[in-house]
Chains A and B, each alone.
Chain A
Amino acid sequence: MTTDGPLIVQSDKTLLLEIDHPLSGECRQAIAPFAELERSPEHVHTYRLTPLGLWNARAAGHDAEQVVDALVRFSRYAVPHALLVDVADTMDRFGRLRLEQDPIHGLVLKTTDRAVLEEVYRNKKVSPMLGERLDPETVIAFPSERGRLKQALLKVGWPAEDLAGYVDGEAHPIELVQDGWVLRDYQQMAVDGFWHGGSGVVVLPCGAGKTLVGAAAMAQAGATTLILVTNTVSGRQWKSELLKRTTLTEEEIGEYSGEKKEIKPVTIATYQIMTTKKKGEYAHLDLFGARDWGLVVYDEVHLLPAPVFRMTADLQSRRRLGLTATLVREDGREGDVFSLIGPKRYDAPWKDIEAQGWIAPADCTEVRVTMTDAERLAYATSEPADRYKVAATAHTKIAVIRKLVERHTGDQVLVIGAYLDQLDELGAALDMPIIQGSTKNADREVLFEAFRRREIPGLVVSKVANFSIDLPEAAIAIQVSGTFGSRQEEAQRLGRVLRPKADGRSAHFYTVISRDSVDQEYAAHRQRFLAEQGYPYTIVDADDVLAE
């Protein structure tokens, strides 16, 4: 006996959602709060139940009954009882411990379950962060350890709910200026979700307007804000976006980077400057205490470096907003994001936002180049460490790249690579300017501006394009080499072309690879990631492209 639901629950705690099913939309809504979307290829999406996901759901106010109900209601086959029990047990662990503000004793760890408090109180890792036992259900927690305590509690499987509240910080009125644009529904929902929860992470695909979510959160907070971004260019873009979209003026926004050290009501700092050490000590830690910040925004949380995590542990009384396209961290520190920045507060899959027209649809194509015999020999005899480079930078690629650029004459093209010699070669062959790590920020901005104004047809960029540079009208991206098989890089690069185009055309994302080499293998790895995100690849042969 089966019901005709769209969901199939697997014994390894993955959930398969059949997209073509009439109830799939409803089902997705029901399971999204607690299940992590793992893969979303065309027909069957895979979600996974993880303790973090379930705790995220708990933090967002969902209870185990809702979760069980959603699973049972939409499941096509019977749901293994053990799994339901496990879900209930796991969710039950969240909130047994709460961090609260006691009017007399300050920060305290309270429990509804004495045994749990007893357990963590005796735990060697946890106990140093706890103080005097006030009564069987309450123990003093040291405010300075608030973040580390939460990390430690998560590790022992008893994540604490942080209800200790936040300091308001120094008030500073910020308003959105919605002239000719309005905050999109999902952006508003993201801000609401964040504000309601206090602190946490908003997951939105590249191009879906994460900066605006940040700006709206700042307006909601109406307080001084510290924004941490990946690099200077990204910081400048935040600044220009904030100037455009809010009442903030040039005087109110400061840049804190290798070049300038301004501290203003809204200060934008880079991760790099925060992690710079002088004489073995972090030189710029004072920034966190420089003002009474009311809000800390972390851009691209999935890239947040470990030292910044440690600093963030000390910022637990400030509201924290994390922005990211993916919670997947290649270093597996999702748990730290959960305990130090906060639970996930909003999440929407790419395809849905694309379907709403907020990001451009993309055609992904893999172009396979056959290396010449000389290249194959060079490849075959190269050191294992160099093999990828040899294959990825095969000269044969140049011709087909040129052809692809010709195919899209009139469109803005980004050619993305990882190896500088290859980029130089391409720049010369395509007659395009090159932006690489050593290009000065001022020069970069000139080039970006020219690109935006369509004064130049395209750019050849190095890994710098992996980070948040905003090139609104890049319709075509051609990647020629990458950092091995990094999935994160692939997502970032695809994100470059996903910004909605003025004319609603679809974007094109080409990957040029050398056949029968590690280049193809790495591409397959990345390709799998894109396919899992719902972007199927078409494979074409370079000869077919050249024959056009």
Chain B
Amino acid sequence: MTSSPSRAGGESPRSLADSLRAWSDERLAGLLQTRPDLAVPVPPDLGVLAARSAVRLSVLRALDDLDAFRLGLLEALSLQEQAMTPAAIEDLVGKAGRDGLAALEDLALVWSDGRMVHVVGSVREVLSTSAGLGRPVAALLTLIGPGRLAPIEQALGVTGTEGVLAVLHDPAKVRGLLEQAGEQARIVVDQLAAGPPLGAVRDARRVATPEELSSPVRWLLAHGLLVAIDEDTVELPREVGLLARGGPQLKVKPPLLTARRVGVAEVDRAAGHEAADVVGKVEALLESWAAMPPTVLRSGGLGVRDLKRAAKELDVTEAAAALIVEIAYAAGLLDTSPGVDPDWLPTPAFDRWVASPVEDRWVLLARSWVVMTRLPALVGMRDERDKALAALSTDIERSSAPVDRRRVLDLLSETSPGTTTTEDTVLDVLAWRAPRRGGRLRDVLPSWVLGEAAALGLTGRGGLSGFARLLLDGADREAGKALAGLLPAPLDHVLVQPDLTVVAPGPLERDLARELAVVADIESTGGATVYRVTEATVRRALDAGRTSTDLHELFRTRSRTPVPQSLTYLVDDVARRHGRLRVGSSGSYLRCDDEALLTELLATKRADLLGLRRLAPTVVTSRANINQVLEVLRSLGHAPAAESPDGAVIVARPEARRTAVRQRATRHGEPMALPDEQARLAVMALRAGDLAARAARRHPVTISHSIDTLAFLQEAAREHRQVWLGYVDAQGRSTSRVVEPRSVEGGYVTAYDHLRQEDRTFSVHRVTGVAEVAEAEGV
């Protein structure tokens, strides 16, 4: 295959398209990969590729990916009026300019004709930020007559406008002149270089006398470093201004990412702590919502009041609560219930999640966060109509979120384990890497990501933890394992204190934690949990079916410290009073002054289904409702009378409700990328298209004899040569393409079509013409 370029012998490229033709396949593939928008759809030929790469929108995209150095370099080049030689560029920006230039060339933002480097037109247009700089010297010199040019020629020791320009276009010479000019003049130049480039000078046009040359402004005017544009205004030429600014201020190297080394263990420990913490918070919140679900706002999302309540319950800020809620949703643990008035409820996945080990639970949360297309940090901010953005609503949906998040996380991955960075450093590095990227949220989004990563335990003490690195590498299982090793083992004991606090000096076994939550209120959480036992909590435990013996037993067996007497007394005191008053509910009641009749009724077998219970000699309750009771009593031959109905109902604690995960539109937040193989194929197609297009341009297709055609094609098939093929399809459309014939038989040509990237069959009788590719190219 003709994969390598056949650069027209020694001829310099005259355009970007020309220069692209000289590129190797690998380099072209590289271009398509770094600027994937160029490859969709695959351009038919290199001319189109060149044109497309110069389209403003595509250029803007490409500029977004430039780091500060390359962007600065490109800006500097765009400010130069003329194309420059690589050497001149190096002179302007230093040694690193060469590498930078190569990179820009690879991106097809500049191209070289072998001698000069040209900036693609639309790039120049986009970057023409010459604000504060004067006009080019060539333009300025046209403003002054020959009478005033002569002294300048004389001063510079050259003749003619060209001579003057040659000096002023040469940075080295201008630099020399500026040194000569002296300190005072330098101050003037610097001031004008900082912009605006115009200065007021009386009698600016007058040619200075030799005595006057001691004045810095006069000296500069005399040497063409300042140009008088009218009687009392001078302008600093752009070339001089650029030089005075010290050339482009290019940050060649990115800022250092690592701020401090705190040690792998320290980072992992801190991150592990946060990881366990966030898992606990998600669980706590969803458990609470299962019992008291917040309603879904009519506009979707979660009400501000409910978010406040969640924040209060979790003892975190509202922003932190919003993150917890959003992650739970992203992880599929939370969704809206079906129905007219939907609630936010845990899903069945939540039950599975709760039952799995902490590390697996974390992996699910963290993974969901990494790819979620929502920005929880937006919650509570105001939109254009000053409406607060609600959590769990579509308002905070941002399809670019995963890409932006990933950029920050990838940056963290580049730090060496056990080191930390600061938010400022991350912002600096990101700003260096892609100064034009990020839009409105550019300055805040990275700090949001860092904050969320810290809250989720991906980072600890500002460093990326080992297990988070695994997670970001896609090794979720290993990440879980690594995290598991960091988590403290659950404890089976607590410390009970005389002030009626119970301290769990670490995470508790699930059962123990549940029991304690029944009998005590949580007072503070963190590494440990502090519970407080009060009269109310003991009563709550008794209400929940625990007996005082159960409670004594719980404290006796699970407390590592002796159970204080005050606690024993408290439990006994409450238990003693508990249940002295009894409250129940019943479906209906029967009362009868004749005790014997009630006794008889209770003894009746057929009355069993009424669930009768005697509360007092003359009062019986029934589980059944009034109508049933009346019916049964009548069937037994009694003549009951209904009393005004009592509406007591059985109150049972509602089951913790669940809802199914709704179908969600799947969004792919990962960045668009072009895999190697696709890029390779695209280049092949391009080459083929290019060949065809150029062939078509140069050799209009003519019909040849079919005998010749057949022979030509057969020969090409034998020699695996590419040929140009003119063809009329079944719809009568005439096309031309470059193909590689494989076989010619039965009136059909089977050939590989580079454009379609597949073998195709052509009827010989529809072939309008054939030509050699080499010939067609006119080599």
**Residues of chain A whose beta carbon lies under 8 Å from any beta carbon of chain B:** 1-2, 8-12, 14, 16, 18, 39, 41-44, 46, 72, 75-82, 84, 516, 527-528, 531-532, 536-539
Contact = CB atoms under 8 A, between A and B. Distances in A.
A76 B506 contact: yes
Contacts of A527: 566
A67 to B, nearest CB: 15
B566 A11 contact: no
Among A8, A76, A528, A537, the most chain B Cβ lie within 10 Å of the Cβ of A8
A11 B265 contact: no
A11 B499 contact: no
Given A8-B527, A16-B530, A44 B503 contact: yes
Contacts, number: 120
Contacts of B272: 1, 78
A536 B562 CA distance: 12
B497 interface: yes
Given A9-B526, A16-B503, A18-B505, A78 B273 contact: yes
Contacts of B731: none
Given A1-B268, A16-B505, A44 B497 contact: yes
A536 B495 CA distance: 15
Interface stretch (B135-143, B399-407, B454-462): B454-462
A84 B524 CA distance: 18
B565 interface: yes
21 contacts: A1-B268, A1-B269, A2-B506, A8-B505, A8-B527, A10-B527, A12-B315, A16-B527, A16-B530, A42-B498, A43-B495, A44-B495, A77-B526, A77-B527, A80-B273, A80-B277, A531-B497, A536-B498, A536-B564, A536-B565, A539-B569
A289 to B, nearest CB: 47
A81 B274 contact: yes
A80 B526 contact: yes
Given A75-B527, A531-B498, A536-B566, A1 B485 contact: yes
4 A-B pairs with the lowest CB-CB distances in the bound complex, closest first: A10-B526, A78-B273, A77-B527, A536-B498
Nearest to A18: B505
Between A10, A14, A78, the greatest number of chain B beta carbons within 10 A of the residue's beta carbon is seen for A78
Contact of B565 (A8, A79, A539): A539
B283 to A, nearest CB: 16
Interface string B262-294: 000110111111100100000000000000000
A2 B273 CA distance: 10
A9 B497 contact: no
Nearest to B274: A80
B269 to A, nearest CB: 4
B649 to A, nearest CB: 33
A41 B454 contact: no
B528 A11 contact: no
Given A77-B269, A539-B569, 20 more contacts: A1-B265, A2-B269, A9-B527, A11-B525, A12-B525, A16-B503, A41-B501, A43-B561, A44-B495, A46-B530, A75-B527, A77-B488, A78-B271, A78-B272, A78-B274, A78-B527, A81-B270, A531-B498, A531-B500, A537-B565
B528 A16 contact: yes
A244 to B, nearest CB: 38
B507 to A, nearest CB: 9
A43 B562 CA distance: 10
A10 B268 CA distance: 18
B566 A539 contact: yes
B431 interface: no
B461 A1 contact: no
Contacts of B495: 18, 43-44
B270 A39 contact: no
Given A41-B498, A82-B454, A2 B561 contact: no
A39 B524 CA distance: 14
A159 B578 CA distance: 52
B524 A10 contact: yes
Contacts of B505: 8, 16, 18, 44, 76
Interface in B531-584: 561, 564-566, 569, 573, 577
B633 interface: no
Contacts of A11: 277, 315, 524-526
Contacts of B564: 42, 531, 536
Contacts of A84: 461
A527 B498 CA distance: 9
A363 B486 CA distance: 44
A14 B273 CA distance: 16
B269 A10 contact: no
A81 B461 contact: yes
Given A42-B561, A539-B565, A8 B497 contact: no
Contact of B497 (A43, A75, A76, A537): A43
Contacts of A42: 497-498, 561, 564
Nearest to A534: B498
Nearest to A532: B499
Contact of A10 (B501, B525, B561): B525
Interface string B462-485: 100000000000000000000001
Name which of B266, B506, B525, B526 has the most chain A CB atoms within 10 A of its CB: B526
Contacts of A81: 270, 274, 454, 460-462
Contacts of B488: 1-2, 77
Interface string B490-530: 00000101111101011000000000000000001111101
Contacts of B268: 1
Interface string B74-85: 000000000000
B684 to A, nearest CB: 52
A10 B530 contact: yes
Contacts of A1: 265, 268-269, 272, 485-486, 488
B577 to A, nearest CB: 8
Contacts of B269: 1-2, 77-78
Nearest to B463: A81
B462 to A, nearest CB: 7
B491 to A, nearest CB: 11
B642 to A, nearest CB: 39
Nearest to B560: A43
A78 B501 CA distance: 23
A8 B528 contact: yes
Given A78-B272, A81-B270, A538-B565, A43 B503 contact: yes
B270 A78 contact: yes
A2 B266 CA distance: 10
Given A8-B505, A41-B497, A14 B460 contact: no
Nearest to A7: B527
A82 B277 CA distance: 13
Contacts of B486: 1
A528 B315 CA distance: 24
A497 B83 CA distance: 96
B448 to A, nearest CB: 15
A531 B524 CA distance: 18
Contact of A537 (B271, B498, B577): B498
Contact of A39 (B271, B454, B499, B565): B499
A540 to B, nearest CB: 9
Nearest to A79: B270
B384 to A, nearest CB: 31
Nearest to A84: B461
A41 B533 CA distance: 15
Point out which of A18, A41, A527, A531 has the most chain B C-beta atoms below 10 A from its C-beta: A41
Contacts of B524: 10-12, 14
Contact of A531 (B266, B499, B525): B499
A51 B632 CA distance: 73
Contacts of A10: 524-528, 530
Contacts of B498: 41-42, 531, 536-537
Contacts of A8: 505-506, 526-528
A516 B574 CA distance: 10
A539 B573 CA distance: 12
A76 B491 CA distance: 14
A10 B529 CA distance: 8
